[in-house]
Structure 1
Amino acid sequence: MMKNVTMAVNDRVCTVDSEFRYPLFTVFYSIVFIVGLLANCYVLWVFARIYRIKKMSEIKIYMINLTVADLLFIMTLPLWIIYYNQNGDWTLNPFLCNLSGFLFFVNTYCSIAFLAVISFNRYQAVTKPLETAQSSLRRRGVVVSVVIWVIIGASASPYLFMNGLNKGNNMMRCFEGYKPQNTKVAITNLIIVACFFLVFILILVFNLLIVRTLLSQPVQQQGSRKGGTKQRALRMVFAVLGVFVICFVPHHLINGPWTMAVLELWRRGDCDLLQTLNNAHQVTLCLAGLNCILDPITYCFATTMFQRYLTVRIKHIRSKADI
């Protein structure tokens, strides 16, 4: 179940490390921490300023939960920055390593789950607009959000109790390394990858149906309210799919063969392949962390009120700058 920053190490056959990851993650996570913290805190501030709890729609509830998931991971980034700045040596409290692994898993799969339900919500809004407009789905949004947190939190809970530290090259590594030929780990990882692609296919179908429905509608005159809504809906589709294709698909594509190679269950002894897969794995982990910055972009496309508020604030800042 080790899904966090990892290094393929096998003393019997191959010893590999992707040394480029130390400066890469140090710089990359520093940028994600600063930009992601500001962006997600601003999103929460805007939602709190515009909406009251009783006025929250289903999709806004999902967006707030997505933001909270991002912020939980962002709070652990200073720990990872210290870790990689010390060339992969965990000198902090061991529980902080467990907590960091736990929140990495929670952020990744809560983000996937909430983007999935957002896609389904938009599909319903486009294909059944009258029914959706006349129904109050705030309760469903709360229930679905609680279920997502409980399921993913329970799935990630082993990270809090397992021994996340292991010694390698006279350094304490945090969630790095597997015991060779551990079929339990292989099966668990492959199940996670299979579930991800099942969810991704469903999201792809929902969003393609949204696009087909929108494009089949009569062309509205430019500047009309309905035409603007249509454009926002299309941008929302591309934003959600963009987050998946950039952040999550590469990681899950490489994770299957990488796990099998590390566990010596596939191409055992092929050190060159193992090194290549490990390098690719590090890059895809970077891309997975990028979702903390890209998620807030979807909010601009999802709600008219948020977009209007952001536009007003930008104009206000520009007017002050011109004075």
Structure 2
Amino acid sequence: MVLSVGFRKLVLGVYGFTLVTGLPANILAFYTFLQKIRQRSTPMDVLLFSLTISDLIFLLFLPFRMVEVANCMLWTLPYFLCPLSGFIFYSVIANSVLHLTAISVERYLGVAHPIKYKLKRNPRSAVAACVIFAMVSMAHCSIVFVMQYHNYLNPNITDPSKRNTCYEEFTREQLEILLPFRVELSVVFFYIPFLICCFCYIQCIRILSRLSNVNPKKRYRAIGMALGTLLVFVICFMPFNISHMEGFIRGQSSEWRRPALLTSTLNACLDPFIFYFSSSALRETFKNVLRGLVRRLHFPCCRSVLYFPLFFRGKPEERTQSTDDSIR
């Protein structure tokens, strides 16, 4: 696939933005959840920690894709990195979808059945779920290796190591295997999870909107997380999976599959925002980092803005108590 100069710059810009914003945010989230799990973990902490690790792996392999785009979609790196980077790339996307779905189920159970779920929830079950998610994702996405080395011993097929493209050109025989498999991937890793997330978060919003004794901040955070997750599904995952369906109907790889895949990379930098709504520990860490940066940059005006609300909360004891409540 030949990319225009303008689109190539757009792809590099999106990849660069994802790497620059996603890497520090996920490192911060990794540190926060690691400390939380060491102290006292919950199933939500385990899921968020596992999703953070998945995003970090994705970001570490993203430069390989950037090199490919910079070289006009020609693969100039050692060829074994081609199927490996593709395998990691697609596995992490599938794994992220499963994790986001599990988080939505956990949220729904905590809101709809708070007492029963609190008594039965166990971090070990979340660990087992994360392992299963990883295994299922990697098993499905091993299709990348299958396609890259399909008919490897056939003398009429070009040796994969001598190709100058990576997972771009497919024979008719390969497409007969690949196109139906992509549809199955869409059903398992998008359509079913998306329906589950829609049900869980719509129910959460409906239940929380009817409860008058819920703290408004907690209600808004829960609604923000629900809407943010559904937005990630629509923006990051929907275009790519629609291209699978379109390619199957037409009997060839969709022409806009790469532009659709481009939005999927944004998931790695959008996930930390979902984490922010999910974890009070991460919110506190973000606040501490922000305050530390302001102090180091010596911006008195910004520092006064950050602490401005504290001057109107009465006595010091009352200010401390109010701040603790907002963190919770």
TM-score (norm 1): 0.82
**1:48-104 residue CA offsets vs partner (Å, 9 max, x unmatched):** 34x143511101111111111111111111111111111011111111001111011
Following superposition of structure 1 onto structure 2, how do residues 141-156 of structure 1 map, counting pairs within 5 Å? 141-156=126-141
- Is 2:14 the partner of 1:37? no
Secondary structure at the residue paired with 2:74? coil
- Is 2:172 the partner of 1:180? yes
Offset, 1:24:
2.4
- Is 2:283 the partner of 1:307? yes
State the partner residue of 2:309: none
Runs of at least 5 residues in structure 1 that lack an aligned partner in the other structure:
1-6, 8-16, 221-225, 264-273
Per the alignment, do residues 54 and 62 of structure 1 end up closer, same or farther by CA in structure 2, a change over 3 Å counting?
A: same
Runs of at least 5 residues in structure 2 that lack an aligned partner in the other structure:
151-157, 301-328
- Is 2:256 the partner of 1:256? no
Considering only CA atoms, is the larger Rg found in Structure 1 or Structure 2?
A: 2
Query: 2-side partners of 1:66 and 1:254: how far apart?
Result: 25
Residues 74-83 or 150-159, more deviating: 150-159
Out of 38, 45, 48, which is 2:34 matched to?
Answer: 48
Out of 165, 182, 190, which is 1:189 matched to?
Answer: 182
Secondary structure at the residue paired with 1:111? helix
State the partner residue of 1:230: 219
Identity within the alignment, %? 22
Secondary structure at the residue paired with 1:94? coil
In 1, are the aligned partners of 2:19 and 2:59 still within 8 Å (CA)?
A: yes
**1:211-270 residue CA offsets vs partner (Å, 9 max, x unmatched):** 1111111265xxxxx22221211111011111111100111112211344352xxxxxxx
**1:108-132 residue CA offsets vs partner (Å, 9 max, x unmatched):** 1000000000000000111112223
- Is 2:258 the partner of 1:282? yes
Runs of 4+ in 1 over 6 A off after TM superposition: 164-167
State the partner residue of 1:298: 274
Query: 2-side partners of 1:207 and 1:259: how far apart?
Result: 31
TM-score (norm 2): 0.80
- Is 2:299 the partner of 1:322? yes
In 1, are the aligned partners of 2:3 and 2:72 still within 8 Å (CA)?
A: no
Equivalent AA in structure 1 for residue 208 of structure 2: L
Query: 1-side partners of 2:269 and 2:115: how far apart?
Result: 33
Residues 151-160 or 38-47, more deviating: 151-160
Out of 79, 83, 87, which is 2:68 matched to?
Answer: 83
Residues 28-37 or 80-89, more deviating: 28-37
Equivalent AA in structure 1 for residue 15 of structure 2: Y
- Is 2:194 the partner of 1:200? yes
Q: Which structure shows the higher helix fraction?
A: 2
Query: 2-side partners of 1:139 and 1:172: how far apart?
Result: 45
State the partner residue of 1:12: none
RMSD (Å), alpha carbons? 2.4
In 2, are the aligned partners of 1:164 and 1:175 still within 8 Å (CA)?
A: no
Query: 2-side partners of 1:158 and 1:183: how far apart?
Result: 13
State the partner residue of 1:223: none
State the partner residue of 1:14: none
Task: Give the total of aligned pairs.
Answer: 288
Out of 76, 85, 97, which is 1:112 matched to?
Answer: 97
Equivalent AA in structure 1 for residue 176 of structure 2: T
Query: 1-side partners of 2:128 and 2:191: how far apart?
Result: 24
Query: 2-side partners of 1:322 and 1:76: how far apart?
Result: 36
- Using CA pairs under 8 Å that are at least 6 residues apart, name the structure with larger relative contact order, 1 or 2: 1
Equivalent AA in structure 2 for residue 124 of structure 1: L
In 2, are the aligned partners of 1:69 and 1:106 still within 8 Å (CA)?
A: no
